[in-house]
Amino acid sequence: MNIYVGNLAYSVTDEDLREAFSASGQVTRASVVKDKFSGQSKGFGFVEMPDGVEANNAIKAMNDKPLKGRNLRVNEARPREERPRRASF
């Protein structure tokens, strides 16, 4: 299951996410989304957990809990919507 994690402090790393969610079960991937030009965190990320029960437990356990000074917003990730490509001039 893919989990969306929002309201991240800019100092949170991939490893911080992995460590926080590992308390609820196996984490296969944890990544903080970064701006491709500056490398600065965009304030959200994703965690993948192979077991749906563990993932749901992690969502309940981590939602609205603090990590590095900010309360997380955690829920099941929705599939990305297809957006029209921007016209290049």
What are 24-66's pLDDT values in tens digits? 999 999 999 999 999 999 999 999 999 999 999 999 999 999 9
Q: Global pTM?
A: 0.87
13: three-class secondary structure by DSSP: coil
Give me the pLDDT at residue 80, please.
76
Give me the pLDDT at residue 88, please.
64
pLDDT band at 70 (very low <50, low <70, confident <90, very high): very high
Give me the pLDDT at residue 33, please.
97
Question: Does residue 80 sit within a domain?
Answer: no
Question: Does residue 31 sit within a domain?
Answer: yes
Question: Does residue 9 sit within a domain?
Answer: yes
Q: Based on the structure, what is the number of domains in the chain?
A: 1
